[in-house]
Amino acid sequence: MISPLADDRVQLRPFTPEDAVPLAAILNHPDLAGRSYLPDSLPDIPITPSALEKILAGREHREREVYLTIVAAQTGRLAGYVNVGWGWDALSPTLSIVVAPDLQRQGLGSSALRFMLAWIFGHLPAHTVLSFAADWNLPALEFMRKHGFHNAGASRRAHFWRGRYVDEIGMDLLRREWEAGHGA
């Protein structure tokens, strides 16, 4: 029997075509502008539901990568998504998470992250999990730090956005740290 990725806050499930419209609305929210979301999307250029549907359809059957929607359990509303990829090496998968701005600070992201870390360390022979965020995205950096991720440094000039270079902060969480409760 499949263990449901759900608690009283969130449910994680695969994308459906009906998710394209609400997810596009989340990704086009001004407060989320400039983040690296999905491949083939451009910073500050709105993404349409049809383009998003194509992007997601193209990634649906990729091996060693998973995209799941985050659904708010109480309302059934789409709240964001998580992505895990281990295409090059299952030793060190990468993880990213996006939560709609008006649904942040309600514990949805924390629940989703906890589920995904448990899934990664429970189902992959991973030794560490890697994550990346733009240098200006202080809430994301603080969120990951709170969940035990360690700052590994900054890749300089990862992007050019709104007239300035953006560094990308690398973060990692080792299995033994997660097991010790930092990620729990």
Partner 1 sequence: MALEGKLVCLREERETDLPLLVRLRNDLETQAWSKSLAPDFTEAMYRQRYESRGFSFDHTDGRFIIERLADGEAIGYCGFYDLQSRLSVTWGIAVRKDCWGAGFALDAQETILKFFFEEYGLRVVRMYTHSGNQGMVRLGEKSGFRISVRLREAVFKGGRFYDTLLMDLLREEYYERHPELEDHLPPLG
Residues making contact with partner 1 (CB under 8 A): 88-89, 91-92, 127-128, 130, 150, 152-158, 160, 163-165, 170, 172, 174
Measured on CA atoms in the order 18, 19, 20, 25, is the torsion positive or negative?
positive
Nearer to partner 1, 25 or 154 (CB): 154
Q: CB of 178: closest distance to partner 1 in angstroms?
A: 13
Q: CB of 99: closest distance to partner 1 in angstroms?
A: 24
Q: CB of 81: closest distance to partner 1 in angstroms?
A: 23
Nearer to partner 1, 9 or 147 (CB): 147
Q: CB of 146: closest distance to partner 1 in angstroms?
A: 19
What is the per-residue burial (b if ≥16 Cβ within 10 Å, else e) of 149-158? Answer: beeeeeeeeb
Give the type of residue at 12: L
Which residues touch 150 (CB under 8 Å, ≥6 apart)?
A: 171, 172, 173, 177
Q: What is the DSSP letter of 176?
A: H
Nearer to partner 1, 6 or 33 (CB): 33
Give the type of residue at 142: E
Nearer to partner 1, 163 or 181 (CB): 163
What CA–CA distances, in Å, run from 15 to 24, 68, 166?
A: 13, 6, 30
